Amino acid sequence: MPKASPQHRLAGYALDLALMLSTCFIGWFIWSLVVWSQGLTPAKQILKMQVVSSITGKTASWGHMAIRQFLIPLALSLPFTVLALLFEPYLFTADYWADPSYYETSIFGTAGSILMNILGTAVGLLDAFWIFKGGQNRRITDLWAKTDVMNIAAGLK
């Protein structure tokens, strides 16, 4: 089976995002839990792609998919989440917990949180567009998880 093209991969990324939003994440997550054992995400199932181990060439297991789809993105976003919390220093004061409405208009905290969300989104987009780098059609997540995404539709012809 050939690797999925960058355009095919990007369409899968966009479709997964659309499915997440349209199902309020819950439906997409339940569907994912079911198809991860086949090396799929909901979008990969629809677009006929499959995740395989780049070491063995075998279909990624449920655990491998959980690491690839959940733990690695969590690790990529965790620094920005921690920094966003640090920009909210009033969270750690007793006054905040006594009257949180007083602090809801904090410009510093809000600007810091917005900046960290923008940076977190930028890292996610960098990961998504990494498939165009170097001709290997691999995201940063694929490099860390040691996976490749194959075009199973091309293998059926």
State the burial class of residue 68 (Cβ atoms within 10 Å of its Cβ: 0-12, 13-18, 19+).
buried
% of the chain surpassing 70 pLDDT: 83
Task: Tell me how far apart the terminal alpha carbons of the chain are, to the nearest angstrom.
Answer: 10
pLDDT score at 5: 94
pLDDT score at 66: 97
Return d(Cα 140, Cα 146) in angstroms, integer.
10
Query: For the whole model, what pTM was predicted?
Result: 0.82
Nearest to 146 by CA among 61, 43, 36, 37: 61
Return d(Cα 115, Cα 29) in angstroms, integer.
27
What size, in residues, is the chain?
157
**Residue 155 near residue 4, CB atoms below 8 Å:** no
pLDDT score at 42: 98
Q: Where are the alpha helices (DSSP H) in the chain?
A: 6-22, 26-35, 42-47, 62-66, 72-86, 94-98, 107-129, 140-145, 152-156
3-class state of residue 148 by DSSP: strand
pLDDT score at 94: 60
The string of pLDDT tens digits covering residues 83-125 is 777 766 655 566 666 665 655 555 555 666 777 778 888 998 9
